[in-house]
Amino acid sequence: MKKIFSSIYEVYKMTLIFAGDYANSFKKSLVLHTISYIFQGLAFAMFYPFLKALFSENFMINEVWLYFSLIVLFSFIAIFSRWKAQDFDYDGVMIDITHKLREELGAKLRTMPLEKLSSYKTGELNSTFSSNIDESVLLIGLASSLILQILIVPFVIISVTFFVDYRLALIMLVMFPLMIPLNSWKKRGSTKVLKEYFSANAKLESSFIEYIQGLPILKAINQVGINAKNLQASIKYVKEVQEQSAYKDKLPPTIMGIMVELTLLSLLFFGVYFVANDSLALVTLGGCIVVFSRLTEPLASTLSFIGMFDFIQTAYKRIKELLDIEEIKTYEPIQAPKSFDIEFKDVEFIYTNQEKRAINNISFYLPNKTMTAIVGDSGCGKTTLTKLIMRYSDIQKGTIKIGGVNIKNMKYEDLMKNISVVFQDVYLFDDTILNNIKMANPSASKQDVENAAKSAYAHEFITNLPNGYDTKIGDIGGSLSGGERQRISIARAILKNTPIVILDEPTAALDTQSEGAVQKAIEKLIIDKTVIVIAHRLSTIKDANNILVIENGSLLESGTHDKLVSNKGKYFAMWEAQQRVKNWNINRGTN
Ligand SMILES: Nc1ncnc2c1ncn2[C@@H]1O[C@H](COP(=O)(O)OP(=O)(O)OP(=O)(O)O)[C@@H](O)[C@H]1O
């Protein structure tokens, strides 16, 4: 029995937490529903004395009227309490709660460490945000009212029947112990299936999003079928899980339905037997059958209603798992840096679920307003180093300081206010060009935006667009070139005007002509800033104040280009290799 109630109680507790300010109203509504169903049960139970009075040999109209009036009164109280319970305005409040939950989850996405966030697939988050919240919260009102009805009404009727004829009450009770193994049987199947159901749907959403996003690339390489296979596999998986759940869900409720019908037949069979040997009045048996037949349908559905709670509980757990993720913590004493030099001291970092450290005992110092390049083979840890400055995840050992302040002592918003990043891939939102730039500094005027765009060499091509700065990215689709998109993102960074700028291979994907324009824009962006640039092409970072050469997460060598070339180490080898390729290309061009 405990197991039957565990998911109901768990869901009740979670609903109170999620309901927040509405928790008391929710409790009040449950109390009113309880009162309503007690009186509904009593109204049914009044059929015993009513029928007895009606068919009595000493028929007395006053007695009949009394019981009839009680049936009417109890029914009226039941209806009135249920109506008052609806004052809680389930639909309105539940919509409010779903809205609040979505806001909380949205805030969580902003404050959770990015490493944690990136461990979720977009589709999984999407399904928690949309379907899990709707399925669970909007269903709870209906589910709690139904479950109270099927628990309370039979309880009242059977209790009253005990006073009328304990033998009939015992027959009614026989089926209840059977609910326990039937429910466990159903639950055993459904808990696993429900988890699979939610994860299959989340997987389907992920595959669908991935398929749509990857379609242009796959079309370009004539491999549309590759991702379609993943999508088809996800669709097939959902179908399999649905089939499984349909099969596993059906049998126990069907058996329960048969049990309820058998109970009714047993009441008839034994009732007739008791009437035959004069130990039961026919009219009492009639009342019992009338009363019990009102219960057969809800009782037969008991397992399905309890199953609704398993469903809600699984959805709640997914929501709670997200809400419980620890936010990025700011440690005391909270400080703000006054200058923007960056220091790594004995930093070690390993990604969750990885065995090898991505960053291995690294120390370096980047003076304020200097440019530092990070170079090294693919996968050596360059991007990880820059992500750690932005607290993508907390390091396991060592310290990272900006202007002498440990980044853990800086408020996360303050930390991010001081850093701009220009990535190789530019993300533009489906909004106007103006808003795409302005989002870096929402209080900026249109003139500020235009000035930033001019500095980023973007003003000219923007004013040539159909609606200039008011052109919507969605309306011009993919017609912006890679270089143009990159210059919009640089205009964003110029408008944000942060003391630290991180450039993560911003020109790597561009042709030579676009690269020239973007390079000029970058030069404007980095004036008077502490700059970190990740570059594969060493010719672009030759003039950096300092170059860090990373190998397998460790700092192998550092210094200016000239110093590293004369060292004849790893940097020299990389430089030589790139020069050879360059010369080979030039020779090929001249031949
Ligand atoms: N989110 C992540 N989870 C787990 N491991 C990761 C994650 N991101 C990177 N790594 C691993 O950490 C190591 C360093 O990756 P990082 O992206 O920092 O290298 P990189 O030098 O910037 O590479 P590239 O030049 O190819 O961009 C690699 O082994 C990579 O597979």
Chain segment 353-403, per-residue pLDDT in tens: 888 999 999 999 999 999 999 999 999 999 999 999 999 888 999 999 999
How many residues does this entry show for the chain? 591
Which residue is it, tokens 């049990």? Answer: 259
Is residue 335 one of the residues assigned to a domain? no
In a shared domain, residues 550 and 420: yes
In a shared domain, residues 39 and 123: yes
CA distance 546 to 182: 71
Cβ of 378 below 6 Å from ligand 1: yes
Question: 208 with 232: CB under 8 angstroms?
Answer: no
Give, using CA atoms, the residue closest to atom 31 of ligand 1: 379
In a shared domain, residues 190 and 74: yes
> How far, in Å, is the centroid of ligand 1 from the Cα of 541?
21
CA distance 385 to 360: 11
- The angle formed by the CA atoms of residues 515, 517 and 521, to the nearest 5 degrees, is 110
- Give me the sign of the Cα torsion angle 49, 52, 54, 56: negative
Cβ of 58 below 6 Å from ligand 1: no
> How far, in Å, is the centroid of ligand 1 from the Cα of 529?
26
The single-letter code of the amino acid at 92 is: G
Is residue 333 one of the residues assigned to a domain? no
Is residue 508 one of the residues assigned to a domain? yes
In a shared domain, residues 313 and 373: no
CA distance 411 to 248: 51
In a shared domain, residues 280 and 354: no
pLDDT, average across residues 135-148: 79
pTM: 0.69
Give, using CA atoms, the residue closest to atom 9 of ligand 1: 384
Question: 403 with 410: CB under 8 angstroms?
Answer: no
In a shared domain, residues 236 and 384: no
pLDDT at residue number 315:
81
Q: What is the pLDDT of residues 206-244, one digit of tens each?
A: 777 767 766 666 555 555 566 667 777 778 887 777 777
In a shared domain, residues 314 and 265: yes
CATH of the domain at 366: 3.40.50.300
Final residue before a domain boundary, out of 272, 288, 323: 323
Q: Tell whether omega for the bond before 333 is within 30 degrees of 0, i.e. cis.
A: yes
Which residues pair with residue 405 across a beta bridge? 402
Edge-to-edge, what's the strand order for the sheet holding 530-534?
Answer: 419-422, 500-504, 530-534, 371-376, 546-551, 554-559
Cβ of 423 below 6 Å from ligand 1: no
Where in 299-447 does DSSP place strands (E)? Answer: 342-349, 359-366, 371-376, 397-402, 405-406, 419-422
Q: What's CA 461's distance to the chain center, in Å?
A: 39
Q: Which atom of ligand 1 is nearest to the CA of 385?
A: 18
- Residue 496 structure tokens: 């944000």
Which residues pair with residue 373 across a beta bridge? 533, 547
pLDDT at residue number 219:
58
Give, using CA atoms, the residue closest to atom 23 of ligand 1: 379
pLDDT at residue number 22:
82
CA distance 194 to 187: 10
The domain tally of the chain equals 2
In a shared domain, residues 207 and 351: no
Is residue 28 one of the residues assigned to a domain? yes
pLDDT, average across residues 421-435: 86
pLDDT at residue number 405:
96
Burial of 332 (0-12, 13-18, 19+ CB in 10 A): exposed
> How far, in Å, is the centroid of ligand 1 from the Cα of 382?
8
Range of 539's domain? Answer: 342-590
> How far, in Å, is the centroid of ligand 1 from the Cα of 424?
15
CA distance 302 to 154: 11
Is residue 329 one of the residues assigned to a domain? no
Final residue before a domain boundary, out of 289, 323, 357: 323
Higher model confidence: residue 361 or residue 299?
361
Is residue 332 one of the residues assigned to a domain? no
Cβ of 116 below 6 Å from ligand 1: no
What is the chain's mean pLDDT, rounded?
84
Cβ of 208 below 6 Å from ligand 1: no
Which of 19, 34, 42, 41 shows the shortest CA–CA distance to 82? 34
- Mean pLDDT lowest for which of 33-37, 324-328, 527-531, 586-590? 586-590
In a shared domain, residues 124 and 197: yes
Give, using CA atoms, the residue closest to atom 7 of ligand 1: 351
Cβ of 379 below 6 Å from ligand 1: yes
Pairing label, strands 397-402, 371-376: unpaired
Question: Which residues are within 8 A (CB) of 56 and not within 5 positions of it... i.e. 6 or more apart?
Answer: 63, 283
Is residue 114 one of the residues assigned to a domain? yes
Question: 1 with 180: CB under 8 angstroms?
Answer: yes
CA distance 439 to 434: 9
Reported as a pLDDT band with limits 50, 70 and 90, residue 496 is: very high
> How far, in Å, is the centroid of ligand 1 from the Cα of 357?
10
In a shared domain, residues 366 and 304: no
Cβ of 572 below 6 Å from ligand 1: no
Give, using CA atoms, the residue closest to atom 4 of ligand 1: 351
Give, using CA atoms, the residue closest to atom 6 of ligand 1: 351
Confidence check on the interface: ipTM exceeds 0.90, yes or no: yes
pLDDT at residue number 591:
44
In a shared domain, residues 348 and 313: no
CATH of the domain at 200: 1.20.1560.10
- Mean pLDDT lowest for which of 82-86, 251-255, 517-521? 251-255
Pairing label, strands 342-349, 554-559: unpaired
In a shared domain, residues 307 and 446: no
Give, using CA atoms, the residue closest to atom 25 of ligand 1: 378
pLDDT of 83 > 70? The answer is yes
Q: Which atom of ligand 1 is nearest to the CA of 536?
A: 25
Kindly report the three-state secondary structure assignment for every residue of 438-485.
HCCCCCCCHHHHHHHHHHCCCHHHHHCCCCHHHCEHHHHHHHCCHHHH
Q: What are the C-alpha distances in Å from 67 to residues 42, 52, 157?
A: 11, 10, 16
